[in-house]
């Protein structure tokens, strides 16, 4: 069994003007594609893992043979994280969540604006490359965490439901060093219905 690069759920230019088509093309076809290819290459050495789902690989990272553990962490994470990312973005995104997700956010952060502020701060303050996450704890609480590289909340026993890629490859062509402008643009694209689906699956 090997993993495949899922197609983007919309055209490259669909998220303009917030994320430009060239960035989307390189980000999906080259960066995401490379994570998938390198994950598959690493797994060739471990046939005993071929029935494991991507979630299992990240959840049970400590059981992955040491020789390929770092590769699975980086490239398995890269594969999973980008799949999640493309799906929580939408040309019809933005606004604020209602329904169950809206209630969870109000309960755990006080208000949507407080949540937005904390998430944005975390993304801005993350040093180097990584992701800002909104994840669900085993007690069904929402939790913010900023993780380096392609590390995934699954490896800490949490379930990610929303993530923002703050690697420079996600924004540099359009925003150069202005990460905070990219973070501000992100709020116009969030597909809250998908984030709520991710929450309700936990």
| Contact residues for Fe ion, defined by CB under 5 A | 165, 167, 170
Residue whose CB is less far from Fe ion, 97 or 160? 160
Closest approach, Cβ 131 to Fe ion, in A, equals 8
Residue whose CB is less far from Fe ion, 106 or 185? 185
Closest approach, Cβ 42 to Fe ion, in A, equals 18
Residue whose CB is less far from Fe ion, 97 or 122? 122
Torsion of CA 19, 74, 84, 166, to 10 degrees: -30
Closest approach, Cβ 31 to Fe ion, in A, equals 5
Closest approach, Cβ 1 to Fe ion, in A, equals 24
Residue nearest to Fe ion (CB): 165
Residue whose CB is less far from Fe ion, 151 or 165? 165
User: Left, alpha or beta for 50 (phi > 0: left; psi -120 to 50: alpha)?
Assistant: alpha
Contact 3, 40 (CB under 8 A): yes
Closest approach, Cβ 169 to Fe ion, in A, equals 5
Residue whose CB is less far from Fe ion, 7 or 138? 7
């Amino acid at each position: 069994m090997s993993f495949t690069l899922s197609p983007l759920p919309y055209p490259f230019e669909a998220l303009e003007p917030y994320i430009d088509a060239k960035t989307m093309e390189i980000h999906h076809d080259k960066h995401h594609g490379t994570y998938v290819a390198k994950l598959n290459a690493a797994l060739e050495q471990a046939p005993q893992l071929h029935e494991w789902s991507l979630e299992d690989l990240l959840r049970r990272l400590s059981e992955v043979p040491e020789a390929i553990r770092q590769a699975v962490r980086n490239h398995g994470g890269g594969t999973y994280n980008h799949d999640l990312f493309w799906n929580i973005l939408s040309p019809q995104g933005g606004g604020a969540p209602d329904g169950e997700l809206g209630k969870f956010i109000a309960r755990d952060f006080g208000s949507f604006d407080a949540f937005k502020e904390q998430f944005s701060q975390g993304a801005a303050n993350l040093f180097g490359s990584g992701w800002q996450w909104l994840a669900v704890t085993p007690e069904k609480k929402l939790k913010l965490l900023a993780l380096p590289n392609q590390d995934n909340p699954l490896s800490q026993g949490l379930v990610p439901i929303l993530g923002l890629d703050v690697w420079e490859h996600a924004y540099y062509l359009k925003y150069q060093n202005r990460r905070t402008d990219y973070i501000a643009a992100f709020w116009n694209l969030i597909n809250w219905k998908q984030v709520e689906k991710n929450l309700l699956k936990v």
